Structure 1
Amino acid sequence: MRRNQEIEQIADDAQQCQRYFFGVTANQKRSMRKRWLAHEYVRLYPNVYARSEYYNKLNPRERALHLIRALAAKYPQKVFGAMSAALILGLECPGYNDRLGHVQIAADTSIPPRPSGTIEKIYVHPLTFIVHDGIRITPPERTLVDCGLRYSYMQSLGIFDSALRFGMTTRKDIADTCSGLRKDCSPIQKLLRDADEKSENGGESLCRATILEAGLARPELQHEFRDPANRKHIFRTDFLWTCDHKTVVLEYDGMEKYTNQHMTNGHDTRRVVYDERNREDALRRAGVTAILRTDYEELRRPQTLIQKLLNNGVPMGKALW
């Protein structure tokens, strides 16, 4: 199709802002629609597009953020809430990929439920907002409460962990927000009990949620061990249980551990694996009796992980809920 300089500039400007683009004039809308029908563009929402090649390179979280930013530019008076607000705040949202194509708009008027569609309107009263990166969103504590009440424990724990880790809100502010609602906030109380700012990423939060939901004993996070062979070397473990003369460590392995240059200090995969073996040797010298590993794929079949932990002596926890 013949190149349209005006449309190309609109698309370029949107990509620079990491969002999708839309037409304003009738001619722009018509031209974009033609390119969508010719498979040059992907349509994410009526009159909201992305270049197909650009869109295919984005991961699910990036796609969600691009759509939220596009809708915020298109409707600047709208307030985004729940998971959309959590994404704009940069919070960890593990276990939510199946709904990252949905956008939550907050409103203070009663809204009939809509089980499908890109836009989910949620009732928030009183409706207040902050502006973050130029976008109106619900305040962090209200965002967390709405997420905890709308989504599962598995989906929400990482959001709470990261909000506390980043210092965006406090347990008291979250509890105070609950006290002003005429709702059963027991899911929020459970999340506040289990949330831990020591959790370093969404994968670890999802792993811990899996463990706690299965009723296993609560692990200690980020415990430090000093290598007896070299006291200068200190290692932190993701999860630790000490019971019946056993010290069990569980490590969560995300793919970034082997591919992200920042996390690998620029080393190749073979060097990273070598360093990991040396680390495990040091942990055993420090008294660790079992070192177990898991990853996201195993969390998708959690019984495998749970049985592995039980087989290595991790006990069931006391009933707290």
Structure 2
Amino acid sequence: MCANLLYSVDADRDGPGRRSLALRCTTGELVRIRPGVYLDGQSWAGLSPWERERLRLAAAVQSGRTRRVLIQQSAAVIWGIPTIGTPLEVMLLALPPVNGHRRGDLRWARRRLLEPLTTVDGLPVTSKAQTVLDMAAYLPFEQAVPAMDHVIRPDRRRGLQALEKDALRQLAQGLPTQAKRVRAMRVITFADERSESPGESYSRAVIHRNGFPAPELQQSFHSPGGRLLGRTDFFWKQQELVGEFDGAVKYGKTQTDGGTQPEHALLQEKRREDAIRATGVGFLRWSWSEVFKPAGAPDGLVQALLRAGLPQLRPRA
């Protein structure tokens, strides 16, 4: 973490005092990252939401008087593992003899260490495998699946190898209770490296938990002449139904990524969808808004799947 953070304790000791930092926040010159920690406003404006969260966690670790170790969702952010939902707490390891407790947005929790602690970008964290196993053991199924899907694929951006399912299963035997071992095993077994985004992974978990048949992932469609028309996130062959998460995800980069214009990408996506529809399949799209809705919500994913003709084979798990 290379951001030039400013701390109120330093301002009291070496500078004009913390009141001056607060005044600079009112003008937008500074942004308060967390209590007592600030960053200049221009630097903050240039950060993505993911980078801002990493910086918030770094500030929480570095402003502690004693060693702080990030765990679970907080460690996942530092590892580059997807997390679902708005992070409200900084998750920290409660080191003996301290038990779990909270202070402000900080939460210390006891965890049995399955592997030695490590550091990423200078921040102490649980190992990559422990991080996802703790998420599988302590979080709802839908939130744990995207993380597990991610780690069983190679992380080429960070140069990290995929974690093997057998190794994860063996490590999960060290979780503290049978219930947590069962929860973790369920997530490991369900995980699929073919899911290409957190939204696809979360959707697949919702589909499974609500008793729908398992879809084929990354199904390829071809023209009568054999030309590849595209791949789809989900396909139910028996119902001849295609499911897609969140719009033009199968096409390249947006303008902000230095790639194609968003309008061009949307046009490509529409042509791809029209070509796949022409093969005789139904097509259903959804976004985060639909997937987060309760099962009974008329505008949610579950009801949309039922209207599209997908059967519920069993009640919600």
Tell me the TM-score range normalised by the shorter chain: 0.7 to 0.9
Given that 2:34 and 2:59 are in contact with CA atoms closer than 8 Å, whether structure 1 keeps it comes out as no
Given that 1:82 and 1:146 are in contact with CA atoms closer than 8 Å, whether structure 2 keeps it comes out as yes
Task: Determine the C-alpha separation between the residues in 2 that align with 1:67 and 1:20.
Answer: 10
Give aligned pairs, total: 298
Bigger share in helix: 1
Residues 104 and 171 of structure 1: is their aligned pair in 2 closer, same or farther, counting only changes over 3 Å?
Answer: same
Residues 124 and 84 of structure 1: is their aligned pair in 2 closer, same or farther, counting only changes over 3 Å?
Answer: same
Task: Determine the C-alpha separation between the residues in 2 that align with 1:311 and 1:157.
Answer: 26
Q: In the alignment, which of 189, 199, 207 is matched to residue 185 of structure 2?
A: 189
Aligned match of 1:82: 72
Task: Determine the C-alpha separation between the residues in 2 that align with 1:182 and 1:173.
Answer: 17
Q: In the alignment, which of 31, 39, 42 is matched to residue 17 of structure 2?
A: 31
Q: Which runs of 5+ in 1 are unaligned?
A: 1-13
Query: 1:1-321, aligned counterparts within 5 Å?
Result: 17-18=2-3, 20-23=5-8, 25=10, 26-28=12-14, 31-38=17-24, 39=26, 40=28, 41-52=30-41, 54-55=43-44, 58=47, 60-74=49-63, 77-94=67-84, 96-97=85-86, 100-109=87-96, 111-114=98-101, 117-126=104-113, 128-166=116-154, 167-183=161-177, 184-185=179-180, 186-229=182-225, 231-243=226-238, 246-253=239-246, 260-261=254-255, 265-269=259-263, 271-285=264-278, 287-303=279-295, 304-317=300-313
Bigger mean CA offset, 186-195 vs 66-75: 66-75
Task: Determine the C-alpha separation between the residues in 2 that align with 1:59 and 1:114.
Answer: 31
TM-score when normalising by structure 2: 0.81
Residues 174 and 111 of structure 1: is their aligned pair in 2 closer, same or farther, counting only changes over 3 Å?
Answer: farther
TM-score when normalising by structure 1: 0.80
Residues 258 and 24 of structure 1: is their aligned pair in 2 closer, same or farther, counting only changes over 3 Å?
Answer: same
Task: Determine the C-alpha separation between the residues in 2 that align with 1:56 and 1:255.
Answer: 27
Instruction: Classify the secondary structure of the residue corresponding to 2:168.
Output: helix
Q: Tell me the alpha carbon deviations over residues 173-195 of structure 1, each in whole angstroms, 9 at most, x when there is no partner.
A: 22222212321222212211221
Cα RMSD after superposing both structures: 3.1
Q: Tell me the alpha carbon deviations over residues 52-81 of structure 1, each in whole angstroms, 9 at most, x when there is no partner.
A: 565466554333211122334445943211
Once the two structures are TM-superposed, the CA of residue 223 in structure 1 deviates from its matched residue by 1.1
Once the two structures are TM-superposed, the CA of residue 29 in structure 1 deviates from its matched residue by 6.7
Residues 115 and 227 of structure 1: is their aligned pair in 2 closer, same or farther, counting only changes over 3 Å?
Answer: farther
Residues 67 and 268 of structure 1: is their aligned pair in 2 closer, same or farther, counting only changes over 3 Å?
Answer: closer
Amino acid across the alignment from 2:69: V
Q: Which runs of 5+ in 2 are unaligned?
A: 155-160
Residues 311 and 241 of structure 1: is their aligned pair in 2 closer, same or farther, counting only changes over 3 Å?
Answer: same
Task: Determine the C-alpha separation between the residues in 1 that align with 2:302 and 2:52.
Answer: 33
Amino acid across the alignment from 1:310: L
Aligned match of 1:6: none
Task: Determine the C-alpha separation between the residues in 1 that align with 2:112 and 2:288.
Answer: 37
